[in-house]
Chain A
Amino acid sequence: MHVEVTPLPGIGTRQDFLTKTGRRIGVITHRDGHFELIASKSDDPDACVASIPLSTEEAGALASLLGAPQLVAQLRAEQNELAGVTTKQLPLSPGSPFDGRPMGDTELRSRTGASIVAVVRAGTVHPSPKPDYILGGGDLLVVVGTGPGLKAAADILDKG
């Protein structure tokens, strides 16, 4: 994937790439830290059909929507050799009993055999979080385990 980085003097930087379908898609990072999501018009690749201003949090949310599936897919592909083990992303809903508590409190591994291999928060991946890692509502937990183990893990994360 070739991402083009173009400086916009006095404004910020534009980073975009060409999709297979011939559309440019990318992000303008403004100096003051806010982002703009851009997508080119289908009939005029030089122009933009939309440029949507995003705050840092919004950009993070969008990135995790797009980023977590990719991570999960990658892990899945790596575990194809291991029969019976899969990877799933489990959302930690705001208001979950573990919202704001360290990861160790979930005791997921001892209770279900499944383990949290990464936490995706605001578009950034935190690999192999330690037991003292404080979970937050809206985090996506990337969990590896057997089918039943993952089911149990999802229940625990929701209900405690």
Chain B
Amino acid sequence: MHHTALALIELGAVFFGLGLLGRLAWKIGVSPIPLYLIGGVAFGKGGIIPLTGIEEFTGIAAEIGVVLLLLLLGLEYSANELVTGLKRSWVAGVVDLVLNATPGVAAALILGWGPIGALAMGGVTYISSSGIVAKVLGDLGRLGNRETPVVLSILVFEDLAMAVYLPVLTALLAGVSFWGGLSTVGIALFAVSVVLIIAIKFGRYVSTLVDSPDPEVFLLRVLGLALLVAGLASQLQVSAAVGAFLLGIAISGSTAENATKLLEPLRDLFAAVFFVVFGLNTDPRDVPPVLGVAVALVIVTTATKMLTGWFAAGQQGIARLGRLRTGAALVARGEFSIVIAGLAVASGAVDSQLAPLATAYVLLMAVFGPVAARVVEPLARKAVALRTRTA
């Protein structure tokens, strides 16, 4: 068969298959991310039908997927929201960071993956999936709940922490020496601060730069600018994803809303490719050896997120049920854990077992997170009822 024809057929089959998986996901009420990962694993090395000849496209598409994921994340926030969110929730944010990065770091150190592997795994277990969390809160009709702002401000803190963490991680993964690494990290953090200041002070100029009443022009400008900034950022060792995230923050107001509407379908497409590619690079035969560690991490990091929520909501004077709901809402991990693992694996600077471990962990967490958010309240009410009956 002709090369192009084969590539088209393979791509078409992959997309169509993802469409079927996505439909299934929403039917059973889970995020499609774990199903995309499974789809990728099935078509990858050692899977059912290994695909060949589309790596070049899927590689670039996966990169674009990460850029769009972070760009839209940035578009969701205005710079002012970030600042007020930080002021209000930094204590809870720090507690969240310490409690939830520690299990990942500890697991990596116990497995002997060294400090860089530990840094990557810490990120994987730390960051909740803002996409899954926001969707679950909306689905469960909890947007009006008193604890919801607490959940959201923790997510804001995590996303900002990502903006600092990713450049540090990329610099270290690139294998720069300790001192060289420090200067790279310094440059990266300086760049992040400058962009944040620009976003807060001059966001409207950036918005005018991309805004256009014509959707076609607008789309090309936003996408073009995002890829340009991402490319430059990755040249500066700041990581493409962070560049896109900061651009997203700088674009504000109605421009941001329109850009989100235009880019959402593109993001969904390319992000799906990204998850599939990550799955493709995971050999299913590598998963069983790390499954025990993954399950242990799931149990520990569910508990740590519950604690985080309990503490953060308690600070805002929310009652027990609400505190439990806060923790359970934060349990889901997803796209960003995979973004971090993807960066780590692509650099080749970490143990090859990190990919299957992250895959297994995110698979379990992305499915279990929404379930936890759903069942925590009925369970708690049952427990209270039992206690009053036995008392």
Contact B144 A46 (CB under 8 A): no
Known: A9-B81, A44-B321. A31 touches B257 (CB 8 A): yes
Chain B residues contacting A66 (CB-CB under 8 Å) are none
A84 touches B (CB below 8 Å) = no
Chain A proximity of B250: nearest CB distance (Å):
16
Contact A47 B257 (CB under 8 A): no
Known: A46-B319, A46-B321. A10 touches B155 (CB 8 A): yes
Chain A proximity of B139: nearest CB distance (Å):
11
- Please name the residue on chain B nearest to A30 by beta carbon: B143
Which residue of B84, B144, B152 contacts A10 across the interface (Cβ within 8 Å)? B152
B134 touches A (CB below 8 Å) = yes
What 1/0 flags go to A1-45 for Cβ under 8 Å of B?
000001111110010100000001010100110001010100011
Contact A10 B143 (CB under 8 A): no
Chain A residues contacting B322 (CB-CB under 8 Å) are 44, 46-47
Which residue of B143, B155, B321 contacts A51 across the interface (Cβ within 8 Å)? B143
Contact B81 A7 (CB under 8 A): yes
For chain B, residues 353 to 372, give those with C-beta under 8 angstroms from any C-beta of chain A: none
A65 touches B (CB below 8 Å) = no
Chain A residues contacting B319 (CB-CB under 8 Å) are 44-46
Known: A7-B81, A7-B149. A48 touches B142 (CB 8 A): yes
What 1/0 flags go to B246-289 for Cβ under 8 Å of A?
00000000000100000000000000000000000000000000
B351 touches A (CB below 8 Å) = no
Q: How far is the CA of A50 from the CA of B82 in the complex (A)?
A: 29
Contact B134 A51 (CB under 8 A): no
Chain B residues contacting A7 (CB-CB under 8 Å) are 81, 84-85, 149
Chain A proximity of B161: nearest CB distance (Å):
14
Contact B76 A10 (CB under 8 A): yes
Q: How far is the CA of A33 from the CA of B99 in the complex (A)?
A: 37
Which residue of B130, B141, B143 contacts A8 across the interface (Cβ within 8 Å)? B143
Chain A residues contacting B152 (CB-CB under 8 Å) are 8-11
- Please name the residue on chain B nearest to A32 by beta carbon: B257
Chain A residues contacting B77 (CB-CB under 8 Å) are 9-10
- Please name the residue on chain A nearest to B143 by beta carbon: A28
B234 touches A (CB below 8 Å) = no
Q: How far is the CA of A44 from the CA of B257 in the complex (A)?
A: 34
Q: How far is the CA of A16 from the CA of B144 in the complex (A)?
A: 9
For chain B, residues 118 to 146, give those with C-beta under 8 angstroms from any C-beta of chain A: 130, 134, 141-146
Chain A proximity of B48: nearest CB distance (Å):
38
Contact A46 B145 (CB under 8 A): yes
B333 touches A (CB below 8 Å) = no
Known: A32-B257, A44-B322, A47-B322. A11 touches B146 (CB 8 A): no
Contact B141 A46 (CB under 8 A): no
Contact A11 B134 (CB under 8 A): yes
B305 touches A (CB below 8 Å) = no
Known: A7-B81, A10-B76, A36-B143. A46 touches B134 (CB 8 A): no
- Please name the residue on chain A nearest to B137 by beta carbon: A11
Q: How far is the CA of A40 from the CA of B322 in the complex (A)?
A: 12
Chain A proximity of B223: nearest CB distance (Å):
21
Chain B residues contacting A38 (CB-CB under 8 Å) are 143-144
- Please name the residue on chain B nearest to A44 by beta carbon: B321
Chain A residues contacting B141 (CB-CB under 8 Å) are 48, 50-51
Contact B144 A9 (CB under 8 A): no
- Please name the residue on chain A nearest to B76 by beta carbon: A10
Chain B residues contacting A9 (CB-CB under 8 Å) are 76-77, 81-82, 85, 152-153, 155-156
B318 touches A (CB below 8 Å) = yes
Chain B residues contacting A26 (CB-CB under 8 Å) are 144
- Please name the residue on chain A nearest to B78 by beta carbon: A9
Contact B149 A47 (CB under 8 A): no
Chain B residues contacting A32 (CB-CB under 8 Å) are 257
Going nearest first, the 6 A-B pairs with the smallest beta carbon separation are: A38-B144, A46-B322, A10-B76, A46-B146, A48-B144, A51-B141
List the interface of chain A (C-beta within 8 A of B): 6-11, 14, 16, 24, 26, 28, 31-32, 36, 38, 40, 44-48, 50-51
- New A-B pairs, 12, CB < 8 Å, besides A36-B143, A46-B319: A8-B152, A9-B77, A9-B81, A9-B82, A11-B134, A38-B143, A38-B144, A44-B319, A45-B146, A46-B325, A48-B143, A51-B142
A-B contact pairs, 17 of them (CB 8 A): A7-B149, A9-B76, A9-B155, A10-B76, A10-B81, A10-B130, A10-B156, A11-B134, A16-B144, A38-B144, A40-B144, A44-B321, A46-B321, A47-B142, A47-B321, A48-B142, A48-B143
